[in-house]
Structure 1
């Protein structure tokens, strides 16, 4: 039976880092300020989405490197890096560097599959190897091996005055245990468990055996833990869009509800051949949101969450939402802010 009384142990938030093409600095600076605010409010983690050829953060690892120097406690995560765009060797170097700079605060969330609009970009992304690229789980395994410190070179030692290592440098012990897998389907959830990863669920799932979002999300979490070596102790995080209105202005409340309403139709039935199903955005007072979460089958299975900030809101909106989440909603769910 689900433990609906389980207190929330870890509270995080997620941002896409929207920016204006004519002034990208302002959007990136806003994201960094939001992460700083998150730390001040006691959030346990801040996560960045990864968007290529869009007006959202395309290099979350670089932005988190900056965030690591403006914060001291909050964990910093990627949710998620699509590995189809990445070289696992170079990505491991970047991830380890940020983990060192943040003193062990990085959570590396990844996913697999062909890059979005691959046919349109493959001539530039993989001009010589597009047809032979493997976009499956092997890419994750390569990242894990690199972060673990497995040898990537047959040469080690000193050549002249330069010293060479057989493994990725810098090596950051423990980072390999903070790799998360973004799963939208049962097979992916099972694979993440079998390979000892942490599980990131989101507001998007594939409706393979059910048409109810909460039950689907719960089935992914349950299957993940059934296959994970740590069993029920395996870490899984729930992701939803929640918009508390406790301190919102009437204008903000009207805009928030219109935003959720504009996205509601897609939550009623699975979309497309892959039967993609979206979760409804939850808008209301923190008390109303807490009641909705306690009744949510997915939430009942976790003790940590990463709530996604709406993509297109203003900086002041994010300040209000995060403040309400940390000061009202979180405590209602049994969470205590970090020191």
Structure 2
């Protein structure tokens, strides 16, 4: 059975037409959406992290709140931009959220995506080396320190006069949580990065955007990315099976409101463009149609077939009730026909 999760960007806007007008609305409704999604059978609640924007930017309080008020659903991010993070402080936050959720944290990290501001990570106190202007290497180095911290690395010399007795030897980040190291994902935008991800022993997250283009549809290129990831994983010799997720926008049209919102959209084909003004990228299509037609279209999606987890991007500004309607539509009217359920 394929795991089906939702991925929310957590937008809010001060508009009379939106039920999500403030940051507080976005946070509280994200918790409510995760709770209700668990009730209807969704397997995961994931949140995109963006800074300097009216979107969710501080994931761990949200994840901890969801973990404390649910019992089954996986909780995670897709993704945290590691250029902004203190890796050892993040290791403390991640372990705390995971313990509250009893081991359900699935944490997606990466170099991040185009930002709202110029070099926003510098405003958070993180300055890359001159030969690393966009901070890509800095993000990977921060991720390496994060991984060793959650894996129990002991690196700090204990004080000779501590406030509390020490157990002896060097100290590390506390608390520790069993298994978290195997539940870290990297958001890879290319086939080469997917191979690097496997070498690091991280699960693979692939979105509806790849930072390369070979002229084939995104789902075909993405399927190749996944196969390369799995081959590199076998070559690395890791002792556990990795997971792979892909994200899609899937809108079953079953009501008049659905039809007004999603019919006649012009994004039913991939597009090729640029990000960061110079990087060629392929952007994946959206799926919006009657359920029986969606079944036919999605049956041909090679990347979904290769992945074990499908993340459904949801229009968060439309509110909890409507997003539950969309999720239920995929679970009940689409997933069985494609063999996901």
Query: TM-score of the superposition, structure 1-length normalised?
Result: 0.86
Residue pair 1:69, 1:102 contacting (<8 A) in 2 also? yes
Other-structure match for 1:200: 205
Residue pair 1:83, 1:110 contacting (<8 A) in 2 also? yes
Residue pair 1:93, 1:168 contacting (<8 A) in 2 also? yes
Alpha-carbon separation, structure 2, partners of 1:121 and 1:302: 33
Moved more, 230-239 or 22-31: 230-239
The 1:156–1:173 alpha-carbon spacing in structure 2 relative to 1, beyond 3 Å, is: farther
Residue pair 2:106, 2:185 contacting (<8 A) in 1 also? yes
| Residues 1:124 and 2:117 aligned together | no
- What's the Cα RMSD here? 2.6
Other-structure match for 1:91: 90
- Mapping 1:245-256, distance limit 5 Å: 245-246=253-254, 249-256=255-262
The 1:301–1:160 alpha-carbon spacing in structure 2 relative to 1, beyond 3 Å, is: closer
* Structure 2: gaps spanning 5 or more residues: 15-20
- Mapping 1:115-194, distance limit 5 Å: 116=115, 119=118, 121=120, 124-126=123-125, 129=127, 131=129, 134-155=137-158, 159-163=162-166, 166-194=171-199
The 1:54–1:119 alpha-carbon spacing in structure 2 relative to 1, beyond 3 Å, is: closer
Other-structure match for 2:17: none
2:272 to 266, 269, 273: 269
The 1:43–1:181 alpha-carbon spacing in structure 2 relative to 1, beyond 3 Å, is: same
Other-structure match for 2:23: 24
Residue pair 1:252, 1:317 contacting (<8 A) in 2 also? no
Moved more, 283-292 or 318-327: 283-292
Alpha-carbon separation, structure 2, partners of 1:277 and 1:320: 29
SS in structure 1 of the partner of residue 46 of structure 2: strand
The 1:158–1:331 alpha-carbon spacing in structure 2 relative to 1, beyond 3 Å, is: farther
1:257 to 249, 256, 263: 263
Residue pair 1:84, 1:114 contacting (<8 A) in 2 also? no
SS in structure 1 of the partner of residue 272 of structure 2: coil
Other-structure match for 1:3: none
Residue pair 2:83, 2:121 contacting (<8 A) in 1 also? no
Number of paired residues? 323
Other-structure match for 2:248: 240
Residue pair 2:51, 2:116 contacting (<8 A) in 1 also? no
Residue pair 1:242, 1:283 contacting (<8 A) in 2 also? yes
Query: TM-score of the superposition, structure 2-length normalised?
Result: 0.86
Alpha-carbon separation, structure 2, partners of 1:157 and 1:114: 44
| Residues 1:11 and 2:14 aligned together | no
- 1:78: Cα distance to partner? 0.6
The 1:310–1:114 alpha-carbon spacing in structure 2 relative to 1, beyond 3 Å, is: closer
SS in structure 1 of the partner of residue 52 of structure 2: coil
Alpha-carbon separation, structure 1, partners of 2:217 and 2:112: 25
- 1:41: Cα distance to partner? 0.8
- 1:276: Cα distance to partner? 1.2
Alpha-carbon separation, structure 2, partners of 1:94 and 1:80: 15
Residue pair 1:202, 1:239 contacting (<8 A) in 2 also? yes
Alpha-carbon separation, structure 2, partners of 1:214 and 1:17: 25
